Amino acid sequence: MLLINKNFKSVNPVIKVKRQIHPVGHGAFITEQFFDPEDKCIFTVVYDCGSRSKQLINKAITDFFNEGIKVDVLFISHFDSDHVNGLPNLSMHFSKDVKVFIPFFYQKLRNIYPKDKAIAIDLVFKTLKAHTINPIYVTYNANSYTSDELDINHPFNRSIKSGTHIHYYINEQIIWEYVPFNLFDEKAIYNKLKSLNIDFSATEAWSNEMIKDIRIIYHEMCSSINENSLIILSHTVKVRDINLQINDESCDWQCQNCSGCEYDRYKLNMTSAALYTGDSVLKANSGTKSKALKEFDIFLLVLCKEYAPVISLFQVPHHGSKNNSNSITLADKMILRLFVNCQEYNKIKHPNISQSLNKPIYIIDKSHGYNEEITFY
């Protein structure tokens, strides 16, 4: 028995994953690092990299990157400056074959966005171009999820379907899984515009009048012109022998109705699943749910049932805006803990979501970050 045990351990060394939500105020910069048994970082994944304060995001990037750390995978939720303006700086730390996942996007639609958003879009594509990186588009998928499974280290096609399971392997074993999810049917907009004889293929720019019309159609078909974010589920597919350590500081600081940081430790130890939502609109009003939210519910149900029993850590979308989520979303029993990327006392008063939830909320601002370490065999 002992021998078998020994063998098992040598084939399956302890894996350590460090998850960090960096203190960048109103913005987002989330990293996940995989370590080998010698505690050497062997793989780094980033979700969003931006802030309203360029100073904060650049400081966070400088603080994070020690010698030898390279970005292997980057997920960009959407093209808003507070999520992407750290990119030029971050790109200095890209690995040779970094993979960049972005939500599917028609370049031509760039022109319907307000100027500041168009600038952010250009910043993303310019930065990628400077490093000759072709982004991998995550396209909408009417079924919300797919059985497609891909190895994160293999070459990707130009696009993948929403719900594709992207696996990270160590010693030919699946260790971790990322599931990008795009709720926004950009093709439906394309088809609608086409049916109205609005030409996508013409090289000349749309007239201002046309842009106005397109904006109206856009608004009719989705709740917001700019908040359609790529959602990422990040979790281990190994649920046995898992141990989660949380730095409790940030929770002590402002835990609304928190039942203490011993909150459901048992459940926490069962799971590693985090759900990153960017600025998605995931709001439910009593009775009526947005199309995206209905799909989100299906997504949550299917993925929780089949892969992660609960979402251990959930990013409250859009910096805690009450327009993007409310207690119906956040009270979902599959969600254990929440975090909000925001800046206190800002003009737009984020976070302004309901604070009466009976679960821990971590406020990530300019001075409070969050980190946890997940170890398993």
Nearest-approach distance from CB 338 to Zn ion, in angstroms: 16
Residue with tokens 């430790």: 265
Nearest-approach distance from CB 331 to Zn ion, in angstroms: 23
Q: Contact between 80 and Zn ion (CB under 5 A)?
A: yes
Q: How far apart are CA 268 and CA 313, in angstroms?
A: 9
SS3 246: strand
> Which residue from 347, 360, 288, 293 is spatially nearest to 319, judged by alpha carbons?
347
For Zn ion, the closer of residues 74 and 304 by Cβ is 74
Q: How far apart are CA 299 and CA 78, in angstroms?
A: 19
CA 202 to chain centre: 34
> Which residue from 300, 358, 359, 354 is spatially nearest to 324, judged by alpha carbons?
354
Q: Residue 192 — φ and ψ, nearest 5°?
A: -60, -45
Binding-site member from 32, 48, 72, 82 for Zn ion (CB under 5 A)? 82
For Zn ion, the closer of residues 80 and 186 by Cβ is 80
Nearest-approach distance from CB 235 to Zn ion, in angstroms: 24
For Zn ion, the closer of residues 13 and 114 by Cβ is 114
> Using the 8-state DSSP alphabet, how is residue 205 labeled?
P
For Zn ion, the closer of residues 123 and 302 by Cβ is 123
For Zn ion, the closer of residues 82 and 295 by Cβ is 82
**Helix, strand, coil % over all residues of the chain, rounded to 5:** 30, 30, 40
Radius of gyration of the chain (CA): 21
Strands 27-35 and 41-51: antiparallel
Nearest-approach distance from CB 27 to Zn ion, in angstroms: 7
Q: How far apart are CA 105 and CA 123, in angstroms?
A: 15
For Zn ion, the closer of residues 78 and 368 by Cβ is 78
For Zn ion, the closer of residues 82 and 186 by Cβ is 82
The letter for the amino acid at 31 is T
Of 81-89, 108-116, 154-162, 171-179, the window that binds Zn ion (rule: CB under 5 A) is: 81-89
Of 100-108, 180-188, 240-248, 279-287, the window that binds Zn ion (rule: CB under 5 A) is: 279-287
Q: Residue 41 — φ and ψ, nearest 5°?
A: -70, 125
Nearest-approach distance from CB 83 to Zn ion, in angstroms: 5
Q: Contact between 295 and Zn ion (CB under 5 A)?
A: no
Strand order in the sheet with 27-35: 159-161, 136-139, 94-103, 71-75, 41-51, 27-35, 15-21, 370-376, 243-246
> Which residue from 283, 348, 274 is spatially nearest to 26, judged by alpha carbons?
348
For Zn ion, the closer of residues 177 and 279 by Cβ is 279
Of 79-87, 136-144, 231-239, 280-288, the window that binds Zn ion (rule: CB under 5 A) is: 79-87
Nearest-approach distance from CB 81 to Zn ion, in angstroms: 8
For Zn ion, the closer of residues 135 and 320 by Cβ is 320
Number of residues that bind Zn ion (CB under 5 A): 3
Token digits of residue 300: 């949550």
Of 74-82, 141-149, 326-334, 364-372, the window that binds Zn ion (rule: CB under 5 A) is: 74-82
Nearest-approach distance from CB 8 to Zn ion, in angstroms: 44
Nearest-approach distance from CB 50 to Zn ion, in angstroms: 8
> Using the 8-state DSSP alphabet, how is residue 335 labeled?
E
Nearest-approach distance from CB 321 to Zn ion, in angstroms: 9
CA 16 to chain centre: 20
Q: Contact between 365 and Zn ion (CB under 5 A)?
A: no
Nearest-approach distance from CB 157 to Zn ion, in angstroms: 27
SS3 320: helix
Of 64-72, 278-286, 332-340, 368-376, the window that binds Zn ion (rule: CB under 5 A) is: 278-286
What Cα–Cα distance (Å) separates residue 78 from each residue in 58, 139, 225, 359?
Answer: 19, 13, 11, 28
Of 38-46, 95-103, 273-281, 363-371, the window that binds Zn ion (rule: CB under 5 A) is: 273-281
Binding-site member from 48, 72, 177, 279 for Zn ion (CB under 5 A)? 279
Binding site for Zn ion (CB under 5 A): 80, 82, 279
